[in-house]
Structure 1
Amino acid sequence: MNRSHLTIKILLVATLFTTACKHTLEVDPTHLVPEEHMWTTKNDARSAVFATYGLFRAALADNNAYLVYGEMRAGDFKSTTRSDLNAVTSNQLNATSTALEEWKNWRRFYAAIAQANLCLEKLSLVHKNDFRYTAEEMKLDIANVRFMRALTYFYLVRIWGDVPLLTNTGDGNFTPVKRSPADKVLELAAQDATVALAGLPWNYSDISPEMPSPYWAQPGSLWKGIVATKGAAYTLLAHIAAWKGDYLTTEKYTRLAIDNKSKGGYTFVNTAGLTGDAGTFSGAGDNIIFALPFKNIYQESSGSGHIEDWSLAEPYISRITPDIYVPNDTILRIFNESNDERFKVTDGGVAAGSYFTGFGNPIPLFTKIKQLSVSGSNPLRMFQSAIIVFRYEELVLLRAEALLFLGKDADAILQLNGVRAQRGLPDYTAAKGPLRNALLQERRRELLGEGWRWYDLVRFESLGAYTGLKPADIANGAQWWPVSKAVLSVNSEITQNKFWQQ
């Protein structure tokens, strides 16, 4: 099967599962074929495994959810006219809005978890029923599914805190499930990621003990950066540990991933490679560890799930004003060092760099990410930028963070300067301010628009300084999203997050 046909099949499965999945925790999956005819052939396994990927992508892409959860509450982006986005940027999440209710509903994430649970229970049936589906292939598929379940739970915890923990498909009847403590959910996620780690290859181009034959008979280049690998599992484990404040474990996993970067096939990219048309956000960057692609050549481009749908306007697409923008004064606060290739104001007072267009206008355009699906004017507003989940520069900055909190400042500075050098900046010195602030600022600059800022502020315990939330608000759970009315109405065991009960 060629890539185009495979991709279409994946999207079909994902769409059908997303549509069929009941709201909230009513996640008994509706199959594409009757149960008695499913799980009988190798193709059934392929469809089921990639449906897990497709459903997770749908959860993040739906109405730019990944950006809303990870970026829009943090203060750097502002909305022009949309009341729903204004409510998010001002942390008024109880406002009345159809979009807000969708963002507050975790059903899409649980659809992905339900599919992962189904795969973990049923893939062995395919191995039993179809001799072509070998034990080695099944083990690799299971490793991919475990990685995806771990990643999905990690997102759920970062967004809602305590969440229900489901590890099986149930008996077909809906049973109300309470929320489990976030630490317990993260423990399951870490266990899944650790098991996945043992069964995943570093890359899909080289035959290895974990992958004794080409994955699904496709060349390794097809899978680069878009399916789980050891590097992606190490990165996920490092982030889970950092979220828990266990920086000793974070340091271990980031070190293992970075020391084996040649096996994973990823490295730094320069600024042109980051923001160019064929760069990172095209889904083809050498710095990608794990991403969710939307390739136009495989008929995957879409209007939703891409920051460009909100951030671009003329001359890139036929719209006068974008939905979101970064104000000029905020741009200057973020990019406050000269020679930064991402954005700078030259000695002659001219703005330069690839992150923004029209600096100085009342509403400058955020153009770091601009993957249009057609050349020239784009009246259909279709985009093909990948959602970058993990990339190498972020991993190195996470390692610097771990070293900082372990009291190893000199080693942290080496990692920080590795990223700064890629963007034309001189080495960090103490004269530039406290190292902690420098790290948080570099993550702000480097990862702007990628859905990291809110989570960074939570980890660095800096929400109050940048968002105006008071310590009492944060103690009451203001950092979490409220749970949607739809969830609360069908599951009596779910209670609203404390801060949002008012």
Structure 2
Amino acid sequence: MLLNQKCFYTGFLITAILLLFASCKKWIQIPPPKNTIVTEQVFQDEAQAEGAMSGLYTMMINGEAAGAQPGIASNNYSAGYLTVATGQSSDELFPYRGSTILKDYLLATNKLTGLQDEAITPLWNSAYKTIYNANGIIEGIAATVSGTLSEKSRREFTAEAKFVRALSYFYLTNLFGDLPLALTIDFHQTVKVKKSTQAQVYEQIIKDLKDAIADMPSSYERGKGERIRPNKWAATALLARVYLYQKDYPAAAATATEVINEQVLYKLEPDLNKVFRANSTEAIWQLKQATTTNIRDATPEGYLLLPTTAHKSAAIYCLTDQLLQAFEAGDKRREDWVDSTDNTLSGSGQPPAFTFYPAKYKIGGANFNTGMPAEYYMVIRLAEMYLIRAEATANGALGGPADGVNDLNEIRRRAGLDELPSTITQDELIIAIEKERQVELFCEWAHRWMDLKRTGRAHDVISVIPMKQPWAGDHQFLYPIPRNDRRDNPLLSQNEGY
């Protein structure tokens, strides 16, 4: 979608500025561009550049319009759909409506085809829209000759945009493999671009993150103290994850340690029910939803996953037995992050059942309001850094398995579980880390789906699930390239097996 429309979303930055200032009745009068962003106007001063940057995040969490419908969580990778889609592809979620919704059925049974791509097209399109908008900011700031936009702001806004671009490409390449690497909004350069290898995509991700770390502030000053604008540590945390995926274990451990050691800003939240609240001590970066949408102060994901009538109406997506059985007895995460609903008397028209659903977010359709949001959408949090370092040291990074056990026990203590013994073998530790990631990061930003793939465990775990029989083949571990993009770009080859 990004690569074949000359006018694709060129008005985004202008619109973002207007939306940003609408609440204070101050509108910037800028004539709309015809085919390109009017960079010298959009980035003329600090306020306009700030508006464009804020607009980028608004698009990521609220969708394309100020009055976005609740369905934004079903159409936007960065507002909940990544969790829902990959949760069904893996062993976390199943659709309560069964086969009645085609895209859910195809994901949950791993029966995607190259012609039936409705389930994955929103992931591709929304991620590339985000990349396009980030590229627009990077190029716009580079092009403007305004003397009223300080050099410090130029560097910081560019760094933020590079971080967002890296985040979006990280998910795209883990979902689709090799893919077009678009680093410009120039239609002539992107209209017929061929795939770059995943190695090349990762090379660009690492470059963008290193650039971002060099120029982003360490504090949350851009978010006025709220953790809603990424800073140096958000970029560092994502880089630690990238190193882990690349199996660069020494770099993964060292980079995760940098974030863990920033103890003035970050601490594990002792109360599991507060982890996902706005500006929790565990939050490294969160997206702040707009209360002007139809979901009010709920996060899009919370609205989508929580029943509309607490404990009575059916949840749209339910937790699988595979996930529920992974929790140890006494695990507080099972108590605080999982809830249940019995719709046998709801009159919903759905088959009666008692089911479980993810309850990391507490605000949804049953209790939303128009007040100040108590929860923001968590993108990156501190617990993952401990798990990254544990896995890296278990695989040979400085500190070795003993340090890996210590990091894992930090997470287990909070969950109310017994500590693992220091005598655990390396193989036992690696198995324990996989399980701990499963129950700590479940239904968060595709962690489980991508963990199983990167560790080579996907076939053994996923192919035997009864819902996924008969198994269509391991090619399903990469999603198909959307057919519309392949139709418009003959250089864009389909993934193997589709």
TM-score, L = length of structure 2: 0.78
* Pairwise CA distance, 1:313: 4.8
- In 1: Cα distance, 2:303 partner to 2:88 partner: 14
Structure 2 residue aligned with 1:442: 436
Q: CA deviation at 1:314?
A: 3.2
Separation in structure 1 between the aligned mates of residue 289 and residue 449 of structure 2, nearest angstrom: 24
Give a deviation string over 1:338-390, Cα, whole Å, max 9, x none: 321122xxxxxxxx54422359994323252343268x65699xx98533221
Change (3 A) 1:365 1:313: farther
Distance 2:309 2:104 in 1: 21
CA 1:129 to 1:78, structure 2 compared with 1: closer, same or farther past 3 Å?
A: same
Q: Which aligned runs of 4 or more in structure 1 are off by greater than 6 angstroms? A: 297-300, 473-476
Q: Deviations over 1:139-169 (max 9, x none)?
A: 1111111111111111111111111111122
Q: Which one-letter code corresponds to 1:397 in the other structure?
A: L
1:293–1:384 contact (8 Å) kept in structure 2: no
AA at the equivalent of 1:84 = K
Query: For each residue in 1:47-75, what CA deviation from the matched residue of structure 2 results, as whole angstroms up to 9, or x when unmatched?
Result: 22223333444499443322134422111
Does the CA contact (< 8 Å) of 1:301 and 1:384 recur in 2?
no
Contact 2:342 2:355 in 1 (8 A): yes
User: Are 1:181 and 2:197 counterparts?
Assistant: yes
What is the aligned partner in structure 1 of residue 276 from structure 2? 281
Q: Does the 8 Å contact 1:153/1:189 carry over to 2?
A: yes
CA distance in 1, matches of 2:191, 2:358: 47
Other-structure match for 1:109 = 127
What is the alpha-carbon distance in structure 2 between the residues aligned to residue 474 and residue 99 of structure 1? 18
Structure 1 pair 325/414, CA: closer, same or farther in 2 (3 Å)? same
For the residues of structure 2 that align with 1:340 and 1:440, how far apart are their CA atoms?
Answer: 16
* CA gap 1:125/1:493 in 2 versus in 1, 3 angstroms: closer
Rounded Cα–Cα distance in structure 1 between residues aligned with 2:295 and 2:369: 17
Greater mean deviation of Cα atoms: 304-313 or 163-172: 304-313
Q: Is the 8 A contact 2:486 2:494 kept in 1?
A: yes
Closer, same or farther: CA 174–291 of 1 in aligned 2, 3 Å: same
2:379 aligned with 1:389: yes
Q: Which runs of 5+ in 2 are unaligned?
A: 15-31, 65-71, 345-352, 466-470
- Counting only pairs closer than 5 Å after superposition, residues 395-474 of structure 1 correspond to structure 2 as 395-406=385-396, 408-429=400-421, 434-451=428-445, 452-468=447-463
Alignment of 1:94-243 (within 5 A): 94=113, 99-100=118-119, 102-103=121-122, 106-126=124-144, 128-131=145-148, 133-170=149-186, 175-205=191-221, 215=222, 219=224, 221=225, 224-243=226-245
User: What CA distance in whole angstroms lies between the structure 2 residues aligned with 1:360 and 1:171?
Assistant: 51
Instruction: Please point out which of 326, 333, 336 is paired with 1:342.
Output: 333
Q: Which amino acid in structure 1 is aligned with residue 53 of structure 2?
A: V
Say whether residues 1:366 and 2:364 are aligned partners: no
Aligned with 1:324 (options 311, 317, 329): 317
Q: CA deviation at 1:86?
A: 2.4
| Alpha-carbon distance between aligned partners in 2 of 1:360 and 1:231, rounded to the nearest angstrom | 43
Question: Do the aligned partners of residues 379 and 294 (structure 1) sit closer, same or farther apart at CA in structure 2, a change above 3 Å counting?
Answer: closer
Q: Which residue of 1 aligns with 2:5?
A: 26
Q: Is the 8 A contact 2:163 2:212 kept in 1?
A: yes
Contact 2:117 2:482 in 1 (8 A): no
Shift of 1:232: 0.8
Cα deviation 1:442-485 (Å, max 9, x = unaligned) = 11111122131101111222102210179xx9996431111111
Name the aligned partner's letter for residue 138 of structure 2. L
Choose from 22, 40, 44 the match for 1:40: 44
Structure 1 partner of 2:53:
49
Instruction: Specify the alignment match of 1:310 in structure 2.
Output: 305
Query: Which SS does the other structure have where 2:379 is aligned?
Result: strand
